[in-house]
Amino acid sequence: MSYEEDALSSARSDETSSGTNSNAEREADARYRALASVLVIWSTTPEGEFFERETGWREFTGQAPTLARGFGWLDCVHPEDLAQLRSVLKHGALTEQAFEAEFRLRRFDGEYRIVLVRAVPIYHDQKFVEWAGTLADIEEARRSDERLREGEERLRFALAVSGAAVWDWNIQTGDLEWNDGYHRIFGTNSEIPGVMSDFVACIHEDDAEQIVAKIHQALKTDDVTNLEYRMVHEDGAVVWVRIMGRVFSRDASGNAIRKMGVITDITAQKEAEEVLRRSQIELRSEANTARAEADELRRRLLARLVGAQEEERRRLSRELHDQMGQTLTVVAMNLRALSEYVHDVTREFRGADPTLELDIERRFKTLHTAVGNLGQQVGSLARELRPPSLDTLGLIPALRQFVGEWESATGIATQFDVLGFGGEKSRFDPESEVALYRVIQEALTNVARHADAKTVSVLLQRPNREIMAIVEDNGNGFDPEQVPHNRLGLVGMRERLDAVGGTFQIESKPNSGTTIFARVPLN
């Protein structure tokens, strides 16, 4: 019987003889059984032969104690690990020193598991008589260690690739620890700041006050801090960094005592953003320049078109006034001569037929009236095409004449006011005068056609460095959003004002009348 068997036997004899166990003995036995449920308790001879009193061996390996006896237990060891295990056992027998060993052992389900064996030598009468030890399944622990190692490797790789440096700040002492990533950002010769105050001293002076305030403010929460700012190298070079971190521990009062995080060099990103920003500014500038040039070209084309239209109107007006006027004058003179001639020729017939003279006079009177009306229409058409007063007297007299004639023709009560001018004879550049005249002319034409208005007001005023015309009626009104954008009258007014650098605006609501604003700059 071994020393351990003898001790266990004596303990059982004592228990039987006394008939009771002390509390300490019961607690020790409970601890032993709990340990046995997790570990395999074993004992062997100094050479490694199993005794048949192992605890948990059959439950773990599925091997019967009779098969495990002697060196049979080695059948459960992975073949690749046998030589190493035998070497450990041999070395232990020679040195009689406690040892640990890891090897793969076949579990009851056939899976090989990594186990940890711990053994201590047992002596009886100062003689090494056996090994006593434990065997624990550490497969999951080793897998966890491997996963942790792989995770650490991936983290180190990610930090190296990203150029990030890890920092650990002891807030109570101010101590600041870094990994080797610090030199990747700030240079191999830069001195690592060992306290937070040294690190803060490296922040760019334009960012320091704001960033320090944010760093201390962030200590009040457990949220992740994310800051971007500039730092200055020892050689004076400026580097942009992004710092991210979080409070990891607090004291009993809730005060932050430790914060960890990473810092990354984002100088290249900031430089790229600056290049992109400048490119966008340049593109916007070029686009604005191109748009301005296109607008100027369009304005010039409109001005030339409007100028050509006005020149054609002027020519037609002049031809109507000169040629048609002269022709109608000749017709009227010949009608009078013909009337006198007919009166003389028909003298001898009038006595025979008294109604003949009256009929002849009536017909000549009708002809004279028609020729007179035609002359007035030709004159009106000539003035509408190009009123002479616009060229000879200027905008204000021409508008006053036109508004008066329009009021007489339409029967709509119209008020014309002028504010801010030096007098009726105030003159402006011809293009602006023509543009405002035509816009007011078209606006009043629209009132007569569509508004069903009872009153109209036309105001010409001179605020600051512009001339503004306002035409307001109390007619039907309309929704400007529902009017087609290609409506010729509105398009024409806008284009005339665009040609002289002016603006056009309509305010109207159904049943609320309409107001038109036309502005042109003073040159």
Return per-residue pLDDT of the chain as tens, 523 residues.
333 333 333 333 344 444 444 566 666 555 544 444 457 888 999 999 988 666 789 999 999 988 999 999 999 999 999 999 999 999 999 999 999 999 999 999 999 999 999 999 999 999 999 999 999 999 998 888 888 888 878 776 766 666 688 899 999 999 999 887 888 788 767 788 889 999 999 899 999 999 999 999 999 999 999 999 999 887 788 999 999 999 999 999 999 999 999 998 899 899 999 999 999 999 999 999 888 888 888 777 776 776 677 667 666 655 665 566 667 676 777 777 777 777 676 666 656 666 766 777 777 788 878 777 776 676 666 566 667 778 788 889 989 999 999 999 999 999 999 998 877 778 888 888 888 998 998 899 899 988 999 999 999 998 888 999 999 999 999 988 887 765 657 888 888 898 888 999 999 999 999 999 999 998 7
At the fourth CATH level, which superfamily is domain 163-265? PAS domain (3.30.450.20)
Contact assessment for residue 42 and residue 72, using Cβ atoms and an 8 Å cutoff:
no
DSSP 52: S
- Between CA 60 and CA 299 the distance in angstroms is 96
Q: What is the pTM of this model?
A: 0.44
Reference 56, options 93, 4, 16, 108; nearest CA is 108
Question: Which H or E run contains 178?
Answer: strand 176-178
Q: Are 161 and 181 in contact (CB under 8 A)?
A: no
The CATH architecture that domain 389-521 belongs to is: 2-Layer Sandwich (3.30)
Distances (CA, A) of 424 to 365, 396, 421, 432: 41, 6, 8, 16
75 contact partners, CB below 8 Å, separation of at least 6: 63, 67
Amino acid at 367: L
In angstroms, the CA 211 to CA 186 distance is: 19
Contacts of 424 (CB under 8 A, 6+ apart): 393, 394, 396, 397, 400, 418
pLDDT in the model for residue 16: 40
Token pair 């009560």 is at which residue?
413
Alpha carbons 455 and 447: distance in angstroms, whole number:
10
- As beta bridge partners, residue 104 has 114
Compute CA distances 91 → 78, 83, 96, 101, 440, whole Å: 20, 12, 8, 12, 117
Judged by DSSP in three states, 114 sits in: strand
- What are the tokens at 260? 């960890």
For residue 321, the model assigns a pLDDT of: 54
Please check whether the two domains, 3-144 and 163-265, share a CATH topology: yes
Q: Which tokens belong to 234?
A: 């020892």
Do the beta carbons of residue 78 and residue 105 sit within 8 Å?
yes
Residue count (the chain): 523
Q: Please state, in angstroms and rounded to a whole number, the distance separating the CA atoms of residues 183 and 178.
A: 10
CA distance 339 to 331: 12
> What is the distance between the alpha carbons of residues 59 and 55, in angstroms, rounded to a whole number?
9
Nearest CA-CA partner of 43 in 75, 82, 73, 64: 73
Domain map (residue ranges) of the chain: 3-144, 163-265, 296-386, 389-521
Architecture of domain 3-144 in this structure: 2-Layer Sandwich (3.30)
DSSP state of 416: E
Q: What's the CA gap between 444 and 375, in Å, rounded?
A: 24
